[in-house]
Amino acid sequence: MANVVVVGAQWGDEGKGKIVDWLSERADVIARFQGGHNAGHTLVIDGKVYKLSLLPSGLLREGKLAVIGNGVVLDPWAFVEELAKLRGQGVNIDTHNLMIAENASLILPIHGELDRAREAVNSIARIGTTGRGIGPAYEDKVGRRAIRVADLADEKTLDLRIARLLTHHNALRNGLGLEKIDPAALKAQLLEIAPRILPFAAPVWKVLNEKRKAGKRILFEGAQGSLLDVDFGTYPFVTSSTTTAGMAASGTGVGPGAIDFVLGIVKAYTTRVGEGPFACELFDEVGEHLGTVGREKGTVTGRSRRCGWFDAVLVRQTCAISGVNGIAFTKLDVLDGLKELKICVGYMMDGERLDYLPTAADQQARVEPIYETMKGWSESTVGARSWNDLPAEAIKYVRRVEELIDCSVAMLSTSPERDDTILVTDPFAD
């Protein structure tokens, strides 16, 4: 059976939640493979709004197994809070349909505090993080001092982990003028939350490999977007994990041979949250239209997103890096009513034309977009479920995007509603 990876192909906020939810009807297992509760997915099902940050979107489908992989950093308190919220909305969640990788690293209160303190003192070049501790948690993971889910089950191990962790953190906190962390108090917090986390802990790598051998379909769900990748994004204005498709394997414990189709989620225009270069950013009435009609506010932070024209250069680049087989094109309806549309087809920098985004930060800040102009459409595309429902100019726009990014549209989304989707190519087709 085919297994599918879903990744954002821009700066995040492309509409992954709806697409993952839609695809999860065809999957048996939905696996989240990176990021933390800084991600934000909004789903609208039969008019009811669900907002997810940490939990896999597939939980909103009955009879599916959702897993949080080892590539995710898990805030236990945020996990418990989100679990309670979804259960309060009538979503059935228990150990029969949700698992957490035993080797997933934890986000602790000290991580969020450190995250916010560093952003506050870094007035020269803020990264624009969510302040939720994701970066510091990944730092501890790589520094081999993280506390992991499995550690919660043994007090002696937990004592050793806390001691090693605080040797590092208390030195950092001293430099930032923060109070030292009391190891006994931190241990008490962890032991209190442990019974609410440990029932979900499992060897996720083993479960997924067994499911694959049994012919079950696995949907791998990414968070954020490819342009926030720690290696290939607009560094240093990036997240602290790998957001490209290759992370699906290492972030869950399956081999790369388990991946059969990579679906890139692409918004019909471009947005980003926080700091960093954005060549196609708009500051006019069109930018205001995109932000207002597209309801461009972060699910997690509530911050307004910066908006701009579609950047084909960036999407072509991210599709190549992730090996995208097809894209899900979202929010086409936000462009309804615009008389003229522009697509970035290249950059100019110091008199030279570029067909890619350079790596150097100073060069990224200096590139100027080269636009191609297309005619817009006045008819509504909201709720379209077939190509015949779309205006001719909208179809031309989609086809031109396909040409410019060298990748075909597999799915087209025309509203936040689950079923307002045009399927061109089924990613799960064998």
Q: What is the per-residue pLDDT across 15-32, written as a single tens digit (0 to 9) for each?
A: 887 888 889 889 999 999
User: Which residues does the annotation mark as catalytic?
Assistant: 13, 41
Enter the pTM of the model: 0.92
Mean pLDDT of 147-152: 98
- pLDDT of res. 301: 62
* In the predicted structure, residue 362 carries a pLDDT above the cut 70: yes
DSSP string, 352-417: EEESS--SSHHHHHH-EEEEEEEE---S--TT--SGGGS-HHHHHHHHHHHHHHT--EEEEE-SSB
In which band, very low, low, confident or very high, does the pLDDT at 299 lie, cut at 50, 70 and 90?
low
- pLDDT of res. 60: 86
Mean pLDDT of 366-395: 96
Q: What is the per-residue pLDDT across 282-294, written as a single tens digit (0 to 9) for each?
A: 999 999 999 999 9
In which band, very low, low, confident or very high, does the pLDDT at 118 lie, cut at 50, 70 and 90?
confident
In which band, very low, low, confident or very high, does the pLDDT at 271 lie, cut at 50, 70 and 90?
very high
- pLDDT of res. 62: 87
Please state at what angle helix 109-121 crosses helix 155-175, rounded to 10 degrees.
Answer: 10
Q: What is the per-residue pLDDT across 39-57, written as a single tens digit (0 to 9) for each?
A: 677 777 777 888 888 998 8
Nearest alpha carbon to residue 342 among 313, 293, 376: 376
* In the predicted structure, residue 71 carries a pLDDT above the cut 60: yes
Mean pLDDT of 187-206: 98
- pLDDT of res. 131: 77
Cis peptide leading into residue 236 (ω within 30°): yes
- pLDDT of res. 303: 76
> What whole-number distance in Å separates Cα of residue 181 and Cα of residue 90?
38
Percent of the chain with pLDDT over 90: 79
Q: What is the per-residue pLDDT across 159-188, written as a single tens digit (0 to 9) for each?
A: 999 999 999 999 999 988 899 999 999 999
Mean pLDDT of 317-346: 97
Mean pLDDT of 291-313: 86
Beta strand 270-272 with 306-308: parallel, antiparallel or unpaired? Answer: antiparallel
- pLDDT of res. 419: 84
- pLDDT of res. 324: 97
